Chains A and B, each alone.
Chain A
Amino acid sequence: MSRPLTAALLLALLLGASPLAAGVVEVRIKLPVRAKIDLAGRRTVAIAPFITVGREGAGRQSESSVDVQQEFERHLTKLLRRETDLKLVESGRVDYPTYELDLLSRNRDFWRALGERLQTDLILTGSLDFDVQDKSGYRTEEYVSPYDGRTYYRQVLVEQTGFEYDIVFQVYDGRTGELLFHDNFKDFKQIEGEKADPLLGMFENLRALEDRIAGVFTQKQVEASRLLLTD
């Protein structure tokens, strides 16, 4: 093919053809997440005592002085007041027919009777498992000798405490006793120090789970990424 012809074809391709290599720009958008429970026509809520679950196992530290149930219910009350328009009804003492959550969740009569007694549209309950673990251990660390300037590896003891919070969260219809919502919220935090304050660990866990718990009752926003395409 002659040189002018090749040049003309090249020019034609450059000017006429659409660009093939697209650039990509990542952007963040905010998307709504619908509340898990429809609150239309529901105005009142009662927090029935959450059942605390204990665990035994290696690495588990002795029981802390924190009242897990009381701290959680106080936190939940605060959260509901802040995030919803629901009116909180005091549940007082509740005598559960069983402490097996599976059995309890099938006992519609019990929840309906409790709802009727408390005159509440919704009843919150579930179980709490707060676990404090000794996560101390040896880690390999690099160090440069001040004598010969060479790099060596050594074992160092790192003291850390792990805090694991496992919440089974249930919402019952106070009028029918029907289980409206059931989910498991879990969080794990690791804090430096062999004897880190369990209360601090618990609040770190609860803060991390706050949005998920609030999302049961209110519409929340989440961030998502999308790709914009350029020439």
Chain B
Amino acid sequence: MNSSDISYLLSHYWSNFLYGTLSTVILSIVGTFGGLLLGIFLAFAERVVIKKELKWYQKGWRYALKGLANFYSVLIRGTPMMVQAMIFKYGCQALGVNWNAIAPGIQIFDGWFYAGLIVITFNTAAYMGEIVKAGLNGIDKGQLEGASALGLSPFQTLFLVSLPQALRNAIPTIGNEWVVNIKDSSVLNVIGVTELYFMSGQAANKNYMFMASYLIIALIYLLLTLITTLILKLSERKMDGKKFSIPFFHYRAKKEASV
């Protein structure tokens, strides 16, 4: 391999890399934030309180909800996403669902891309559920009591007091999941999702420039994860009410500087 291989691939296959990068970015963002929403639901389900004074059927559905959420979490976290993707693919085929035939409104991505979105979102949800649950467990009980003494309902307390703090505390871990998703979305190539790894493979196979191709995508993955980390750092600082500055460069936004 020499540097001309890299420049050849970049000049002839830039659109492949760009398309792959765009797919990976969308997969990671939708997977992370869609997974977070589902994860919040899973965390709530696992934390449902079952009081002694409830009627048997009220207890029954609560136990069922808790059990299902717990089972889902164990199942998904205990199996690799690549295997889940394959089971999803062949499961869909067995049920007669043809993702190739699903035409999106905007013809940028094929049907398997949307299948990939579903797999990564439901996979991430299991991890996010645990993250949110840990965040909620970390909230000082006194604040919950304070909310209760003010007359806030348990539901209001959850959404107005507990969840905002749990999410704030979980930002580094949520961010870590985002970074993991950027990289792990590459395994979705096994079901034909045209993400970055898949697209670079096409360029490499056609030209036998494997090393150059994978070096290029390694740099792209690194760049994506660095940008993601930076976004998370800035959002953490913003939520802490600190000055809006970019780490390392100590850049201060004009607005802050003028204060």
Binding partners A and B? no
Give the A-binding residues of B (Cβ under 8 A). none
